[in-house]
A and B are shown apart, each in its own frame.
Chain A
């Protein structure tokens, strides 16, 4: 059922850009988790991850929990995770739960001045 979500990952030097399209929910979220875990950011590889939520049409609480998990992992692993703001429904969920306060949020991936 992961047809409802497309996860497109691109790497450039030490930065990974992950763009999501479709529905991020309790079924499809495993696809995102798999892609993000495979990046295995470390001191010599990927150091910056940009997660683009602009293409989402739905996000639920289990998906939000995965976002929290990835954000906590980024902090403990000392790599950078930035989240590109999604549509109104997604932003509303982040705001209602206070999760937006914990994330590095940007409007556009180009807003980030990332080192190579």
Chain B
């Protein structure tokens, strides 16, 4: 969750489906342009955010009515804070994913901080932080 001291850079909700992942990733990259981040840092952010969005698009609404996913990015102090939220089934152990853990490993290694929670037991919120 962003605080009142955060400076909002980007916010958008789209249906949680694969085609939305690229749209949100590209729009976020455009929105981050004015921050003057290096090419490598921008690439890391795009990859990590893409993975969080992919998880929401592929797994959040299994066996329930499809919903949306929301991407928010804000500058807070010396960090870029990014959250990906959905209103799906929350964190459920999965055994159906080949390469389980590959994406989570990439996210945790490239982000400065990574938190995954299920606020109120509904949906999933992935909070990421990157140094500026």
Contact = CB atoms under 8 A, between A and B. Distances in A.
Interface string B34-71: 00000110011011001100100110000000000000
9 contacts: A1-B22, A61-B99, A62-B54, A65-B102, A88-B40, A88-B43, A92-B43, A97-B102, A97-B105
B98 A65 contact: yes
Interface in A1-51: 1, 4, 23, 25-27
Contacts of B40: 88-89, 92
Contacts of A61: 47, 50-51, 54, 99, 102-103, 106
Indicate the size class of the contact surface on chain A: 10 to 19
Interface string B14-28: 000011011001000
Given A25-B22, A26-B18, A89-B43, A60 B102 contact: no
Interface of B: 18-19, 21-22, 25, 39-40, 43-44, 46-47, 50-51, 54, 57-58, 98-99, 102-103, 105-106, 109-110
A62 B54 CA distance: 9
Interface of A is mostly: helix
Contacts of B58: 26
A23 B25 CA distance: 11
